[in-house]
């Protein structure tokens, strides 16, 4: 099993609840499946560039203009995305670790998503076939921590919705979420209990992840 772990948190693990969830998740997963191939991407070490006009042209012109040839500058604008896409397309499972910042994903994670969801790299797109994945990711595990508490479908939670819909677009429907909520000690007296519950949940989701069936889905035969 190949696992890609992308982390968007500048804090050290001792000070970061979401990174502690990642430690609990991987501790269990590696105990159950010591043979997993794990690739770690710390976005603060491998910073994604913001989307540029050159990248826009490199990614989307070939979709809309048959035979479009990239200029040298356009080719170079895809360097970060191409390198990340290689790891992404090799992965069976994607793990995303982050805090909630201003009700959404940290900007550095959004910049990475903008790079990775690139036609020609992780999916193809055409009028005839719609969106077709080039990756083989079966499941995403989202490890998140927030100061506040958000019930399911809380309007303020832009984070889990964005992750769900962005990756659904390229064919990944399975999203498992472990959420340490109420982590602000100013407002919640039970933040330690909430964290302990989330750490347990992280280990449980790791058990489920270890059981994921990696058999490739057979392409449906075209109707006669
Ligand atoms: C810049 C910033 C913005 C934040 N915005 C929110 C927010 O919108 N909602 C919330 O519940 N908590 C918010 N928080 C609190 C963090 O989500 C919370 O402290 C979380 O536990 C941090 O995770 P970490 O310990 O892994 O860094 C914010 C914290 C920071 C630093």
102: left (phi over 0), alpha (psi -120 to 50) or beta: left
* Mean pLDDT per 10-residue segment, the chain (224 residues): 98 98 98 97 98 97 95 97 98 98 98 97 94 97 97 93 97 97 92 96 98 80 65
Residue of 146, 156, 158, 181 to test ligand 1 pocket, by largest number of atoms within 8 Å of CB: 146
The span from the CA of 201 to the CA of 17, in Å, is 13
The answer to whether 176 and 205 have CB atoms below 8 angstroms apart is yes
Residue 86's pLDDT is: 98
Return the residue matching tokens 């964290």: 195
1: its two tokens: 């099993």
DSSP code of residue 34: T
Give distance in angstroms: CA of 130 to centre of ligand 1: 37
Could you identify the atom of ligand 1 that is nearest to the CA of residue 148?
Answer: 11
Predicted pLDDT at 222: 65
Strand order in the sheet with 175-180: 37-42, 2-7, 93-99, 139-145, 175-180
pLDDT at 220 (0 to 100): 65
Q: Supply the pLDDT for residue 224.
A: 62
* pTM across the whole model: 0.95
**How many angstroms from the chain centroid is the CA of residue 120?**
18
pLDDT of 151: 85
Query: Which helix (H) or strand (E) element contains residue 40?
Result: strand 37-42
pLDDT number for residue 216 = 77
Asked if residues 111 and 126 have their Cβ atoms less than 8 Å apart, the reply is: no
Question: Would the CB of 148 count as within 6 Å of ligand 1?
Answer: yes
With tokens 């090799």, the residue in question is: 90
Nearest atom in ligand 1 to 98's CA: 26
- How many residues appear in the chain? 224
145 lines ligand 1 (CB under 6 A): yes
Tokens of 160: 């889990």
Q: Is the CB of 17 under 6 A from ligand 1?
A: yes
Which of 147, 160, 196 has most ligand 1 atoms within 8 Å of CB, for mutation?
A: 147
The reported pLDDT for the residue numbered 152 is 85
How far apart CA 136 and CA 219 sit, in angstroms, is 13
Measured CA to CA, the distance from residue 23 to residue 127 in angstroms comes to: 43
- 101 CA distance to ligand 1 centroid (A)? 5
Taken in order of first residue, the domains within the chain and their CATH numbers are: 2-210 (3.40.50.360)
């Amino acid at each position: 099993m190949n696992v890609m772990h992308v982390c968007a948190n500048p804090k050290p693990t001792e000070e970061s609840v979401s990174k502690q969830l990642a430690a609990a998740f991987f501790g269990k997963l590696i105990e159950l499946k010591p043979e997993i191939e794990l690739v770690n991407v710390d976005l603060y070490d491998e910073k994604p560039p913001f989307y540029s006009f050159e990248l826009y042209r490199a990614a989307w012109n070939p979709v809309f203009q048959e035979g479009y040839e990239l200029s040298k500058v356009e080719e170079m604008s895809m360097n970060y995305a191409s390198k990340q896409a290689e790891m992404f397309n090799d992965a069976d499972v994607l793990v995303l670790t982050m805090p909630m910042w201003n009700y959404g994903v940290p900007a550095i994670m959004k910049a990475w998503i903008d790079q990775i969801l690139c036609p020609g790299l992780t999916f193809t797109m055409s009028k005839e076939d719609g969106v077709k994945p080039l990756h083989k990711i079966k499941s995403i595990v989202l490890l998140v921590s927030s100061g506040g508490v958000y019930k399911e479908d809380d309007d303020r939670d832009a984070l889990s919705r964005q992750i769900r819909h962005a990756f659904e677009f390229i064919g990944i429907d399975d999203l498992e979420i472990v959420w340490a909520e109420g982590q602000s000690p100013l407002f919640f007296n039970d933040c330690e209990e909430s964290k302990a519950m989330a750490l347990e949940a992280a280990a449980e989701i790791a058990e489920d992840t270890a059981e994921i069936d990696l058999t490739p889905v057979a392409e449906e035969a075209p109707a006669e």
